Chains A and B, each alone.
Chain A
Amino acid sequence: MRGLVKGCLGIGVLAVLASTIGVPAAWSEGDVTCTDAGFCVNVAKRPKRSAPAEKMDSTPPRRRTPGHDAENENLGQARKKFSAAFAQYDRRLASYARCVRTLDPSVSNAGCGSPPTPPIAPEFRTDTFSGRGNQPRITPDQAAAIAVARLQLPTIAPGIGPSPDLNPWKMAAVGYPLWLWAAGPTEVGPISDSVAGLSVSLRAEVGSLTFRMGDGHTVTCEGTGHPWTTAVEPATKSPNCGYSYAKPSLPGRVYKVAAIANWAVTWTSNGQSGVINVPVVDTTELPVGELQVLVR
């Protein structure tokens, strides 16, 4: 009997575990936490409902008049709208970051398909907040998030050298050490912005680079890589960020290379500070062929 109970319990657990088996080998959609036993639970929460407008406005009205009530009502509505818009923006930003970080142009369905565009931060309509005591309640990290979104960090083209344009075949060669770097600005700021009356100071720099090489391989480099120049001795490997292709893309194909610049934006506002990581992606195409030489 005891054995039977144990058996049934075991089957029960197996059933629970089996319910998690139908998950593809690699996925990142949805917020799921998995444990050692393969037991996975969906932890995605519904967004919290916005607090009632009266509770969000901690400044008590000095005098209650019908006009003032209407003003408060408008303010409450505006704040409610902003809270909802910000929550939506936050989710889109998380989704965007996930798409960029997993983007691989060589795999059609990786990273949500094509290079995503960052979401647009919610805007304040200042006229809505023009009444007395009507400063929108916004936290420094919300202000920072909006300021970072406004910053529009530059995309960074994948720097790959030596360029295929420098040789007669207009291609990179299998086995040849390519140098990889960030071919664009890697620092922005310090700059200041004002969001809903809060001053935000920002400084952004690229902390690391991730290159999806188009052949299924990924190269991650700390820093921004070392640009290749014509002074580099042939066949020298990059000191800190490089790659050699093992297989050609040619004939007829090119490798689609994506460079993901991982920007770290440090913000300070109202005595608080933090870092927001924003990945930005740019792509290029690289023909890679095999060299054949004549031996006499």
Chain B
Amino acid sequence: MALRRRGFVRVGAVVACCALVAGCTPAQPASAPPPTPAITTPTESQIERQMRLDYEAAEQAYRANRAEQGRLYKAGGITEATPEMRATATASYLRITLKALRRIKTAGWQATGTTEVVGVVANGGWKENEVGLTSCEDSSVVRFIDGSGNDVTPSTNRRYVQALKVVKLRGRWKVSTAVTTKVNSFKGQPCEG
């Protein structure tokens, strides 16, 4: 019987997947997928525990600082750093965030909305008094209103991937520096959430 060609139809790869794999005519039943290794929880070494606790404490300090900044932006800025800011930030990070909040205060602006911390991951190694974090911050929802009620929100891209250095000073973890990369989307970023 002659074959009647109805035409080429593009189909999903699943139909033709067999042909993609070597030996595509398995006579025997398809073999089972690779066994999933049993999930075991290895005993946490002392250093692993220390690292985990340090990263947790560093992230907590960063999130507390972000929350405080959000509160202060909504309050219309500040002229001096609050105790919470000083407790959770230091060095250039404290200086720059304070500078921004001062500018807001001077300009008589107020913020609505809060920066969303999309995700935070460990990055950049660990030392006893210093850890690195990468965070994805989305400030695009934060609007700024001036004293006359005008929306003065800057049109710049405000989706940031922040490479943070968090240091332990006198027993307290504080965000020390942040190196910002502006991104259009957090897709593919380690901290995408």
Q: Is A41 an interface residue (CB 8 A)?
A: yes
Contact of B7 among A36, A168, A295 (CB under 8 A): A295
Which of chain A's residues has its CB closest to B106's CB?
A: A9
A152 on the interface (CB 8 Å rule)?
A: no
Query: With an 8 A cutoff between CB atoms, is B42 at the interface?
Result: no
Q: Judging by beta carbons under 8 Å apart, are A235 and B14 in contact?
A: yes
| Residues on the B chain within 8 Å of A27, using CB | 181-182
Which residues of chain A from 86 to 127 have a CB within 8 Å of any chain B CB? none
Hey, which chain B residues are within 8 Å of A35, CB to CB? Answer: 69, 96-97, 100, 139
Q: Which of A27, A32, A276 has the most CB of B within 10 A?
A: A32
Number of interface residues of B (CB under 8 A): 78
In the bound complex, residues from chain B placing their C-beta under 8 Å from that of A295 are 6-9, 11
Determine which of B34, B99, B128, B184 lies in contact with A232 in the assembled complex, contact meaning CB atoms within 8 Å.
B34
Residue A217 interfacial (CB < 8 Å): yes
**Mask: chain A, 33-71; 1 = CB below 8 Å from B; 0 = not:** 111111111010000000000000000000000000000
Q: Is A294 an interface residue (CB 8 A)?
A: yes
Contact with A along B150-193 (1 / 0, CB 8 A): 00101111101010000000000000011111111001101000
Give every chain A residue within 8 A of B62 (Cβ-Cβ).
none
- Which residues of chain B in 24-70 are interfacial with respect to chain A, using CB atoms and an 8 Å cutoff? 24, 30-34, 36, 47, 51, 69-70
User: If the complex has contacts A229-B34, A232-B34, are A166 and B5 also in contact, measured as CB distance less than 8 A?
Assistant: no
Listed stretches A12-20, A74-82, A184-192, A250-258; interface member: A12-20
Contact B73 A36 (CB under 8 A): yes
Of all chain A residues, the one with the shortest Cβ separation from B146 is: A10
Complex-state Cα separation, A20 to B8, whole angstroms: 55
Within the complex, what minimum Cβ distance (angstroms) separates B4 from chain A?
Answer: 7
User: A162, B22: Cβ atoms under 8 Å?
Assistant: yes
Is there an interface contact between B125 and A277, defined as CB atoms closer than 8 Å?
yes
Is B111 located at the chain interface by the 8 A CB criterion?
yes
Known: A36-B158, A41-B99. Contact between A10 and B93, CB under 8 A? no
Contact at A291–B32, with CB atoms within 8 Å? Answer: no
Q: Verify A13–B6 contact, CB threshold 8 A.
A: no
Which residues of chain B from 141 to 155 have a CB within 8 Å of any chain A CB? Answer: 142, 144, 146-148, 152, 154-155
Task: Tell me if A273 is interfacial: C-beta within 8 Å of chain B.
Answer: yes
Interface residues of A in 278-296 (CB under 8 A from B): 290-296
How many Å from the CB of B13 to the closest CB on chain A?
A: 4
Q: Are A37 and B16 in touch, CB under 8 angstroms? A: no
Chain A residues within 8 Å of B19, by CB: 167-168, 291
- Chain A residues contacting B22 (CB-CB under 8 Å) are 162, 166-167, 230
Do the beta carbons of B179 and A33 come within 8 Å of each other? yes
Q: Verify A218–B188 contact, CB threshold 8 A.
A: yes
- A59 CB to closest chain B CB (Å) equals 26
Is the beta-carbon distance between B33 and A233 smaller than 8 angstroms? yes
* A232 to B109 Cα, complex, angstroms: 60
B123 lies within 8 A of chain A by Cβ? yes
B30, A234: Cβ atoms closer than 8 Å: yes
Let me know if B177 and A33 touch, CB within 8 A. yes
A173 interface contact, C-beta 8 A: yes
Highest count of chain B CB atoms <10 Å: which of A16, A43, A210, A230: A43
Contact across chains for A275 and B8 when beta carbons are under 8 A apart:
no
Cα distance A138–B8 in the bound complex, in angstroms: 70
| B6 nearest in chain A by CB position | A295
> Using Cβ atoms and an 8 Å threshold, which residues of chain B touch A294?
5, 8
Interface of chain A residues 234 through 254 with chain B (CB within 8 A):
234-236, 239, 244
Tell me which residues from 189 to 220 in chain A have a Cβ below 8 Å from any Cβ of chain B: 210, 217-218, 220
Contact of A235 among B13, B97, B144, B157 (CB under 8 A): B13
Cross-chain contact A275 with B31 (CB below 8 angstroms): no
- The answer, among A21, A33, A167, for a CB contact under 8 Å with B20, is A167
Pairwise interchain contact A293-B182, C-beta atoms closer than 8 A: no
Shortest C-beta distance, B113 to chain A (Å), equals 9
- What are 29 A-B pairs at a CB distance below 8 A? A9-B108, A16-B103, A25-B184, A27-B181, A27-B182, A28-B179, A33-B96, A33-B162, A33-B178, A33-B180, A37-B73, A37-B144, A38-B158, A43-B92, A167-B21, A167-B22, A173-B13, A173-B17, A174-B13, A230-B21, A232-B31, A273-B47, A291-B10, A291-B11, A292-B10, A293-B11, A294-B5, A295-B11, A296-B5
| 9 nearest A-B residue pairs (beta carbon) | A218-B188, A175-B13, A38-B156, A38-B154, A35-B100, A166-B22, A176-B13, A13-B107, A34-B180
